[in-house]
Structure 1
């Protein structure tokens, strides 16, 4: 009898989990993931990042399963960028979110899809976190970046995957309350401290089912892997929905306390490549 933790389907978060704190995938992690893939391990990623970003960050990793991007807004073929399924805001909900942000004097960034092309629509980027958000994408040549003077007009006749803003940490709770009251149940509101620009909280408005747990279900059904045991890996609160649907849950030691508390295993930190080491070391007979 063996206790091979590599069996089944494995879904990994990126930032804070597979990626190191400088937002890179180490050579050790890249080679380890490829070794797992070559051995037949079924694995993919679920991230708040886009498929465009994933292609750069995971360069050299031979993924074949679809990826979950933008926290579950899209299930996407990584190589082509083709969306296999989507959970996006309707026009009315997107417009309501923009109105609420205008009331808060909070500048939005929109991620949209017109059925063919993806766009990241941004304004002047009037705070450091917004500037970081756009400049990071510009640095890796993100073709979705588009300047936009009128976000309200931009959501007309298209799919809005996310409405994003950044506010100072001390204003985040009140901003979330305003958005939730305006939107009711028509959208989900997620807030998380930005790990790369301290002092700023990212707030994302998305479809209520644009979350990792629901997206993992879509992934399992679309790939025919629903009968396999599911192991998920994450470090932050947006990973908890996929913890809810998994057979096994794994967190690195740097994870949020609420995530560590829900994990069936805790590994070394992301900067020590704890998740990949955990898998590579986990095939010994018992």
Structure 2
């Protein structure tokens, strides 16, 4: 169980500040875009020297498209913590990936539940997304979204099992109808015996479908954010995180300040030290400009 977060902000302003933002539902609007206002606001903050980066369930390839024009300098946390990555080069600075046997068990368990697995992998040099034929509506959206922004990782495979022993698997991903998500999680947890962490959440972009993900137990945002701070020489910095969903709670548990937009999940709002306007109103960027920007910012 994750320990309740402790607010440690008082009297520690001399440590410097590191800000880490989630994307979907937090920085991005509900149509999965970053508004021109948000882009300009982030650049204003970054150009003024604010230490800010992102931690997302999305890949670096998606971030590069969604955040095009944003002048991030720090590494990013991608795939919920599976990778700590230099966004400019795509080089992974650290990784937490599944072993082959765990990946195969997850694939077989999902197939027994009537759904196909999509694998997000790293072959030691390049990232890939491997998928088979006959995908359901949720998984089809997942692949089509990547095709739309020209994701170079996509690889069609007759059988994704062949990938498991050849590459490092960052995540096993599948989509199930919402009313089957609870059973899918239970079956995966039973089969994996703790060798993989299982997360399921309703997909905000494909109503009726939940995304189920199996990842390394240490591939979570809290651990990844701590590793990020150490990697950039800011282990003692005051940490402020921004998020809206349950996968953000691990980084909420290690942060000094925890900010959520008003559209966040109730469990996230309950742990927030500050609540902003909704993501569709660019609430987080407006909060950052007000709290961290020049006096004229709004």
Which of the five TM-score ranges fits, normalised by the shorter chain? Answer: over 0.9
1:152 CA displacement:
1.1
Question: In the alignment, what sits opposite 1:170?
Answer: 179
The yes-or-no answer on 1:122 pairing with 2:135 is no
CA distance in 2, matches of 1:250, 1:166: 29
Q: TM-score normalized by structure 2?
A: 0.92
CA distance in 1, matches of 2:135, 2:229: 41
Match among 252, 255, 262 for residue 261 of structure 2 = 252
Match among 82, 90, 93 for residue 84 of structure 1 = 93
1:185 CA displacement:
1.1
1:157 CA displacement:
2.6
Match among 97, 109, 113 for residue 106 of structure 2 = 97
How big is each residue's C-alpha offset from its partner over 1:23-69, in whole Å with a ceiling of 9 and x where there is no partner? Answer: 00001111111111111110000000000010010011100100000
How big is each residue's C-alpha offset from its partner over 1:161-200, in whole Å with a ceiling of 9 and x where there is no partner? Answer: 0000000000000010000000011000000100000110
Question: Aligned pair in 2 of structure 1 residues 245, 38: CA closer, same or farther (>3 Å)?
Answer: same
Taking the TM superposition and a 5 Å limit, the aligned residue runs for 1:162-241 are 162-241=171-250
The yes-or-no answer on 1:159 pairing with 2:175 is no
Match among 52, 56, 62 for residue 43 of structure 1 = 52
Unaligned stretches of 5+ in structure 2? 1-10
RMSD over aligned Cα atoms? 1.4
How big is each residue's C-alpha offset from its partner over 1:178-236, in whole Å with a ceiling of 9 and x where there is no partner? Answer: 00000011000000100000110000000001110010011011111011100000000
The runs of at least 4 consecutive aligned structure 1 residues that moved more than 6 Å come to none
1:123 CA displacement:
1.3
1:125 CA displacement:
4.6
Question: In the alignment, what sits opposite 2:140?
Answer: 131
CA distance in 1, matches of 2:55, 2:99: 23
1:126 CA displacement:
2.5
CA distance in 2, matches of 1:127, 1:19: 26
1:151 CA displacement:
1.1
Unaligned stretches of 5+ in structure 1? none
Question: In the alignment, what sits opposite 1:278?
Answer: 287
Asked if the contact 2:243/2:264 (under 8 Å) is kept, the reply is yes
CA distance in 2, matches of 1:3, 1:169: 44
How big is each residue's C-alpha offset from its partner over 1:247-275, in whole Å with a ceiling of 9 and x where there is no partner? Answer: 00000000001000000000000000000
Deviates more, 1:152-161 or 1:186-195: 152-161
Structure 1 residue matching 2:234: 3-state secondary structure: coil
Question: In the alignment, what sits opposite 2:274?
Answer: 265
The yes-or-no answer on 1:143 pairing with 2:152 is yes
CA distance in 1, matches of 2:286, 2:92: 31
CA distance in 2, matches of 1:206, 1:268: 32
Question: In the alignment, what sits opposite 1:28?
Answer: 37
